[in-house]
Amino acid sequence: MKTDYLLPDDCRDMSEVRTGVDATDRELMALLDRRFGYMRAAARIKADRGHVRDEARKAQVIENARADAIERGLPGEKIAEIWELLVESSIAYELVEWDRIRS
Query: Residues annotated in the binding site, as ranges?
Result: 18, 35, 46, 94
Distances 56 to 59, 67, 90 between C-alpha atoms, Å: 5, 16, 15
Rounded-to-integer distance, Cα 103 and Cα 41, Å? 16
Angle, in degrees to the nearest 10, between helices 76-102 and 55-71: 140
Residue ranges at the known binding site for substrate: 18, 35, 46, 94
Measured at the CA of 29, the angle between CA 6 and CA 100, to 5 degrees, comes to 170
